[in-house]
Amino acid sequence: MLTKFSFAITSFWNNYFSDQYVYYAQSHLGNYPGPMPFYFILALPFYLIGELGFLSLAGIVVFYGLIKYMKIASPYPVLFILLITTSPFYLWEVLVRSNIFLNAVLIACSIVLFFRIKNDASLKNQLFIGGIIGLLLSTRNVFALCYIIFFLHTIRTGQLSFQLAIKIGGISILVFISTFLPFVMGFRDDFLQMNPFIIQSSFLMPFGWVMTAIVCSCFMFLFCKQNADVFFYSGVILFITIMLHFVYHALSTSVYISLIQESSIDVSYFILCIPFFLCYLLNGQSDRQNIYMESSFIKTSEKK
């Protein structure tokens, strides 16, 4: 069964393997693919085996791996996995072959990992962190809001220097750009006419509304008192951004037209918030919370 999610991936790779420009691919509804390149690269193995449904199941597998890495005390791992697999949102994910949950879980995993290794300032570590961020931003660029909160919080609390953050940011940008190269080489003029930035700016929200979400994320880190709060406020900023998108389209036409007729509003994107809120709740049950979830800023303050 092809849904709008699986159709976008299938049409993208069909165009690529037919030596056609990938962002001219159209779904059964006539829509152009909006996600960034690495979104489709993640789906390539599942496209090749002919079953994109496994991509939806990968979300719960990766989240279980994250729980094991955090060494969550029993019985919480079983309870959380049971909660997710029986939740309407995840049943919907599997039914329509969506990978929204997987994309968000990967971002949450990266933040957990970065808290673990942030004190290593070696070039190898900079390349690793910058590379991971660049690749994951090339799935859905809305996740930049989460990384803004992470970096501003770690800089503010002295866990990461400003200079190191700039270096990692530069590496991330280079890796992000590199993900486009295999798909735009030989299609320069086509890329200027049709690309995910144009598609998203014309379909999602105007620039002013996008800037509102970015400004909110730049101030959100001020509410983070400990590292675990980064997950909570990342979920909050994603919720606010999706709500802004909802409100904008509802005001532009109406809820009925945007939600039913034009499908410009998709409430399923609220799923993006869920892994971050779950990580925030799980932190209290982690045996490793003192390693990467407790801010050194808080420790210093307590000593004073």
Where in the chain are the domains?
4-303
Measure the CA–CA gap between 106 and 56, rounded to whole angstroms: 13
Q: What is the pLDDT of residue 251?
A: 76
Nearest Cα neighbor of 109 from 285, 292, 255 is 292
Going by pLDDT thresholds of 50, 70 and 90, the confidence category of residue 129 is very high
Place of tokens 């803004």: 148
Task: Report whether pLDDT(295) > 60.
Answer: no
**C-beta neighbour count of 218 within 10 angstroms:** 14
Stated pTM of the model: 0.87
- For 9-18, write each residue's pLDDT tens digit: 999 999 999 9
Task: Report whether pLDDT(141) > 60.
Answer: yes
Residue 130 bridge partners (DSSP): none
**Among the listed ranges 54-68, 97-111, 161-175, 280-294, which one has the minimum average pLDDT value?**
280-294
Residue 286 bridge partners (DSSP): 72
What is the mean predicted confidence (pLDDT) over 69-93? 87
Q: What is the DSSP string of 114-168?
A: HHHHTT---HHHHHHHHHHHHHHHTT-GGGHHHHHHHHHHHHHTTSS-HHHHHHH
Output the 3-class SS for 195-220. CHHHHHHHHCCCHHHHHHHHHHHHHH
Measure the CA–CA gap between 130 and 173, rounded to whole angstroms: 8
Average pLDDT, the chain: 84
Going by pLDDT thresholds of 50, 70 and 90, the confidence category of residue 291 is very low
Q: What is the pLDDT of residue 303?
A: 40
- For 4-39, write each residue's pLDDT tens digit: 678 889 999 999 999 999 999 987 667 788 889 999
Nearest Cα neighbor of 101 from 275, 245, 282, 279 is 275
Of 48-52, 114-118, 129-133, the range with the highest mean pLDDT is 129-133
